[in-house]
Amino acid sequence: MFVKPNMKINQIYPYLSWSLFQRSIISRTNASSTYQNKERILLNCTNNNSDYKMTTRRFLTGYDVLLDRRANKGTAFSIEERQTYRIHGLLPPTVATPELQVERFMDNLRNMPDDLSRYIALAALQDRNEKLFYRVAMTYTQEIMPLVYTPTVGLACQKYGLIFSKPKGLFISINDKGHIYDVLSNWPIHDVRAIVVTDGERILGLGDLGCNGMGIPVGKLSLYTALAGVAPEYCLPITLDVGTNNETFLKDKYYLGLQHKRVTGKEYDEFIDEFMQAVVKRFGQQCLIQFEDFANHNAFRLLEKYREHYCTFNDDIQGTASVAVAGILSSLRITGRKLSDNTFVFYGAGEASIGMSDLLVVAMEREGVSVEDARKKIFLVDSKGLVVKDRPTGGLNEEKKRYAHERECIVKLGEIVKALKPSFLIGAAGQGPAFTREILEDMASFNEHPVIFALSNPTSKAECTASEAYEATKGQCVFASGSPFPNVDYNGKTYIPGQGNNSYIFPGVGLAIVTCGIRHIPEELFYISAKTLSEQVTEEDLAAGLVYPPIEKIHAVSRKIAVALAEYSYEHKLAAHYPKPKDLEKYIEENQYKAEYSDALPPRWDWQKKN
């Protein structure tokens, strides 16, 4: 027998084969109890019969409840719920509070031998009891972020072949070409609103990790929820596997992906085109597609190709640019200078540096400076040295050419710094230590408050450590890094390094997009995000040398960013959710995910619409 959408709860009793005893418990519960919620969920899930596949039970009972990550509360199920859902006896008798569950998990986590074990434990919790996972992540954000995100996620990707257990997203390989829509249809949720996708070619600063790069979209989307309250059921991590050029993985018997060299050229492009079209067909044109950790040669190209036609952005170009510009705007409040009175040296000329430079130009234009003059303030350094016009060693693509100066090429970073005397030195090369003590001391000799950003991830790829920066500049520098560093005690003062990571930006951007149905993402949204983030930095933060709000405030900051983006999007007719909510902040807050257990009967999470 199939349950029909308009059935009353008493009509489905026989189907659920509940005992009289259980019914009597339900009939004794009051109006706001599970009884009513059951009906509500039934109607919500199935208000148009013909739209839904009616092949399975509509909500869970029995052992299945404990196996479903979205329904499971573990030891927090009340005795009444245990009776109702027919799980009584499957759990030990003591009923835990959610708070106790969090503390128990954290105690266990802290006793584990290393961060990779903690990553595995958190991934398992996410599979077992999603609400508890997010409650842990939202309560202990500062402690959990470095485990589910950079730096530990980098290590987890390197070891993914050993630690993969349950699917948290979709793997789509080049062998699926021609059938990508079918693969997307295997994802059990219909209403997907945010995808983070990688092809694994440039995972953090660790290079080509191929299919093992899946840890990145999973980690990014976990932060969508933990930092901004985007409901996890809207989120879908995807890895596109076109092969790998990682020699170690090509020989590793535990490697999870296709063991051949990367497919490139026309076949690659057709594959990505098909993917983009299939996403729209399956999930609709408002589904956000965030590109993550693609290699430079594809990242810029694909952004240009798709930005006007899809709801898409590239986090490594635009998200990183936004967070860096926010940090730069905040540092001006410390140095007291105008943006255009500075000289910026970017070490690295890839996605992050070009993205930051382009957005900086936008910010300088707001000060009335021309694009041409703004570009004169920005210097890029790549593996061949300073980016200059007609460089004998070549290596200039279209993006770098925008910042190629009319001067002689200097190759060594130390000499470049001595020659240009920059006020900002920003590292995003993914090459590891590069800001030597001499370079840092030089920066302090030209500037009262040199600004040093070591943005490459994970920690091992940072251009310098926080303590190296504070010590070499005698505590004078403004410092931020992409991966977290512990506080530094120097000369009797404690310095708190800021984390200039795009995680301050993309969760808020995602929240605005999924709640307001923003269809298109113009560059302006990243400038607004940068400004809003910078405005959240208090005078107290600045006095402590912080150019970002403390991580504990990141939830509130993400919402502020979402509200600012929503305002702009409604004004510019980019938002599809109508009518426009009267109070956007309230609307967004109401639509944020809360990591609190619901007392509704758990619905199956694999209800999908027919396509």
Per the annotation, binding residues are 202, 292-293, 316, 457, 501
Q: Where are the beta strands (DSSP E) in 374-471?
A: 378-382, 385-386, 424-427, 451-454
x/- binding map, residues 92-131, to ligand OAA, per CB under 6 A?
----------------------------------------
Selected binder of ligand OAA within 502, 532, 534, 536 (CB under 6 A): 502
Task: Say whether 261 is catalytic.
Answer: no
Judged by CB under 6 A, does residue 316 bind ligand OAA?
yes
Selected binder of ligand OAA within 102, 204, 480, 533 (CB under 6 A): 204
Q: 66 or 454: whose CB is closer to ligand OAA?
A: 454
Q: How far is the CB of 43 from ligand OAA (least distance, A)?
A: 41
Residues 6+ apart with CB under 8 A from 576: 286, 516, 517, 518, 519
Q: Pick the closest to residue 314 from 278, 272, 348, 277 (CA basis).
A: 272
Residue 282: φ, ψ to 5°: -80, -45
Judged by CB under 6 A, does residue 322 bind ligand OAA?
no
Q: How far is the CB of 316 from Mg ion (least distance, A)?
A: 4
Using CA atoms in the order 212, 214, 220, 224, what is the torsion angle rounded to 10 degrees? -160
The Cα–Cα gap between 261 and 245 comes to 5
Judged by CB under 5 A, does residue 468 bind Mg ion?
no
Q: 208 or 315: whose CB is closer to ligand OAA?
A: 315
| DSSP letter string, 505-574 | THHHHHHHHHHHTB----THHHHHHHHHHHHT--HHHHHTT-SS--GGGHHHHHHHHHHHHHHHHHHTT-
Q: Pick the closest to residue 589 from 299, 229, 187 (CA basis).
A: 229
Output DSSP code: residue 280: H
Q: 386 or 428: whose CB is closer to Mg ion?
A: 428
Residue 521: φ, ψ to 5°: -120, 90
- From ligand OAA, Mg ion, none, interface partner of 296 (C-beta below 5 to 8 A by class): none
Q: 501 or 534: whose CB is closer to ligand OAA?
A: 501
Judged by CB under 6 A, does residue 74 bind ligand OAA?
no
Instruction: From the candidates 38, 73, 168, 220, give the one annotated as an active-site residue.
Output: 220
Report yes or no: 244 and 208 within 8 Å, Cβ to Cβ: yes
Judged by CB under 6 A, does residue 298 bind ligand OAA?
no
Q: Pick the closest to residue 319 from 145, 505, 480 (CA basis).
A: 505
Q: How far is the CB of 509 from ligand OAA (least distance, A)?
A: 13
Task: Say whether 553 is catalytic.
Answer: no
Region 275-304 residues binding Mg ion, contact defined as CB under 5 A: 292-293
The Cα–Cα gap between 529 and 558 comes to 9
Cα three-residue angle 222-227-233, rounded to 5 degrees? 45
Q: How far is the CB of 560 from ligand OAA (least distance, A)?
A: 21
Judged by CB under 5 A, does residue 316 bind Mg ion?
yes
Q: 241 or 292: whose CB is closer to Mg ion?
A: 292
Using DSSP's 3-state secondary structure scheme, residue 35 falls into helix
The radius of gyration of the chain from alpha carbons, rounded to an integer in Å, stands at 26
x/- binding map, residues 326-365, to ligand OAA, per CB under 6 A?
----------------------------------------
- Contact positions vs ligand OAA (CB under 6 A): 150, 204, 293, 315-316, 457, 482, 501-502
* Active site (catalytic) residues: 149, 220
- Contact positions vs Mg ion (CB under 5 A): 292-293, 316
